Amino acid sequence: MKIFIITTFISLFGLNYLNAQTTFGTDTQVACETYEWIDGITYTTSINTVTHTLVNANSVGADSTVTLDLTINNSNTGIDVQTACDSFTWIDDVEYSASNNTAMFTVMNVAGCDSIVTLDLTIKNSTTGTDVQSACGTYTWIDGNVYTESNNTATFVLTNVVGCDSTVTLDLTLNNSIGIDIQTACAKFIWIDGNEYTSSNNTATFVLGNAVGCDSTVTLDLTINNSTGTDVRTVCNSITWIDGNVYTESNNVATFILPNAVGCDSVVTLDLTINNSTGIDVQTACDTYTWVDGVTYVSSNSTATYTLPNAVGCDSLITLDLTIKNSTFVTDVQTACDTYTWVNGASYTSSTSPTNTATYSLLNSVGCMLTMDLDLTINNSSTGTDVQAACNTYTWIDGNVYTESNNIAMFTILNEVGCDSIVTLDLTINTVNTNTTINTTSSTISIESDAIGATYKWLDCYDAMSSISGEINQSFTVASNGNYAVEVSENGCVDTSACVTISNVGIIENAFNDMISVYPNPTKGSFAIEFDKIQESLTIQLFSVTGQMIQDYNYQNSKLIQLELNEPNGVYYIEIMDANGKKAMLRIVKV
């Protein structure tokens, strides 16, 4: 990227105007290893002092000096030291299965130049082994699992001495011995474990020592010959059972003991159903119910009776216990925007009423029919345009700040019926041209507003932006050093330019490297000349507009000089010269 910085000097010698422009620029470059510049030289190191002169296209015959600001970045190399087990995939996407110190790969370093990386890879290998074990009953291995049977397939992964996987396979032999003790008894049995068993059992175990020095587990297989049975009976009203008791209600818990075929007690349990001569028929129906008596009931009833023979030939007097539940009819009142999809799955785009026969049926809270009629009001969405005009910026209802005219932005709000209203913005942004231009001639300095055909008001920035009396034109001629701005009114908008600092009113020629200030200018008589630093020897002469020298002064080691202009009102010139012949020409006005 090349950046040219242009500096303009304006020199006025005496009353004559001389305009010369010299262009200076800096060509900033960044390169890897070498760079060949416009002077034809190839540079290998960074440098910022080399210059080259071109003919300036902006002023015929004037030189344009370009300075090279060059940064040379260098490539570099490095070694990527890696250690892996069995294989390793490097940045070149190659999978290496053996050690390697020759592979190379090129990447960009932080300076944007090539960086060559060499791989230094060490491959270490995984190992395998077998762990032979023998145990009694169970064995807990290094994997934390408890094994109850011999096993030669279980594996576990450890880290070997070189830091890679070591896979160990288990070879386990379990020396267990088991047996079954078959026993038969009546009622109860005392086994070798000292426990008394009153019911058959095939899960109890006892541990003895076997021939290989491991435990021998004996499992009991016990049969208790207590026989049981159930006496199922169904009768009317009552029964006298084998225990001598008279039962008038159904029963399934009564028992009686008899001797069985194997000489043990036999327990008989009664399973009795008593068919009573009365009963209640509990019914629930919607709206109406027709009972076994042929009557249709439209309301709940708990008094109606009917006599039927039951399944065992007993008369059964049935009492009706009827609950009548009612169906319901409702109107579903709905309001929607543009369309509405009802419970029946239909989409409606216009209003309906119960007379439009949009109906739907389902079950109500008591399990009967619920019939719904739809009473629907369809309200419609709307659109509109918001026409606006603003100065410079405008904040719309969408919260966005617009700096340019716009006729496509949209925003959605609710209209008066609660539906979407899409508003389109039609915005005109009016702007004010607040740019200014400084114009300099041999006798005046003026500031001009770039806005044409506007209304102007020139302001003093140093005096709280106060208006300058009578200055309402597009151009403002500066009478004294200061800080000035212009308030411009155009296109129905008002805006103020940036403040412009004028510090060279009265300075015609200045060969001093130090800044010279003359103030106040215009003056009523007394004025000062101030330098940025002390001047060792100065000659100051005051001339009239006709070139006649009026006063002559000499000063030593001065930075601030106070002078008195004891002449009639008008324009005068001050010539300042040091011991080396360096000059400055100043113009001052007495009012």
Domain end (from 224, 243, 258): 224
Q: Is the pLDDT of residue 314 over 80?
A: no
3-state secondary structure of 119: strand
The 3-class SS string of 180-196 reads: EEEEEECCCEECCCCCE
Asked if 305 and 339 sit in the same domain, the reply is: no
* Cβ neighbours of residue 107 closer than 8 Å, sequence gap 6 or more: 91, 114, 115, 117
Query: What is the extent of the structural domain holding 25?
Result: 2-73
492 DSSP assignment: T
Q: Are 375 and 358 in contact (CB under 8 A)?
A: no
Given pLDDT bands bounded at 50, 70 and 90, which one contains residue 267? confident
Q: Taking all residues of the chain, what is their mean pLDDT, rounded to a whole number?
A: 84
Rounded CA separation 458/462 (Å): 12
pTM of the model: 0.32
Geometric angle at alpha carbon 232, from 231 and 233, rounded to 5°: 115
For the chain, state the CA radius of gyration. Answer: 58
526 shares its domain with 567: yes
pLDDT of residue 282: 92
The whole-number pLDDT of residue 505 equals: 65
Whole-angstrom CA distances from 296 to 293, 300, 318 are 9, 11, 17
Q: Which position has the higher pLDDT, 547 or 428? A: 428
Same domain, 370 and 388: no
Residue 513: per-residue pLDDT: 67
What is residue 578's predicted lDDT score, i.e. its pLDDT?
87
- In single-letter form, the type of residue at position 278 comes to T
Does one domain contain both 585 and 512? yes
Contacts of 331 (CB under 8 A, 6+ apart): 354, 372, 373, 374, 375
Are 515 and 585 within one domain? yes
Q: What distance in Å separates the CA atoms of residue 300 and residue 97, rounded to the nearest whole number?
A: 90
Provide the domain count of the chain. 10
Q: Which of 322-331, 347-356, 358-367, 400-409 has the highest mean pLDDT?
A: 400-409
| Mean pLDDT in residue range 371-398 | 90
pLDDT for residue 306 is more than 90: no
Q: Which of 473, 502, 531 is the last residue of a domain?
A: 502
Q: Where are the beta strands (DSSP E) in 545-582?
A: 549-564, 570-578
At 49 the three-state DSSP class reads: coil
pLDDT of 453 higher than 80:
yes
Residue 558 has pLDDT above 60, yes or no: yes
- Please report where in the chains the tokens 């084998």 appear, as a residue: 242
The domain boundary residue, chosen from 402, 430, 458? 430
Structure tokens that stand for 309 in this block: 């023979």
- pLDDT at site 506: 64
Instruction: Give yes or no for residue 57 having a pLDDT over 80.
Output: no
Residues 6 or more apart in contact with residue 329 via CB below 8 angstroms: 370, 371, 373
Please tell me whether residues 232 and 287 are part of one structural domain: no
**CATH at 543:** 2.60.40.3080
Q: How confident is the model at residue 144 (pLDDT cuts 50, 70, 90)?
A: very high
**Whether residue 118 sits in one domain with residue 53:** no
Residues 282 and 270 in one domain: no
Share of the chain above pLDDT 90, in %: 30
As given in the structure block, the two tokens for residue 107 are: 């990447």
Question: In angstroms, rounded to a whole number, what is the distance separating the alpha carbons of residues 396 and 399?
Answer: 6
Residue 476 sits in a domain whose CATH number is 2.60.40
User: How do residues 489-523 score in pLDDT, each as one tens digit?
Assistant: 998 899 999 998 776 666 666 777 667 888 888 88
Least confident of 114-118, 207-211, 384-388: 207-211
Instruction: Note whether 321 and 342 are same-domain residues.
Output: no
pLDDT value of residue 1: 33
Q: What integer is the mean pLDDT of 350-361?
A: 75
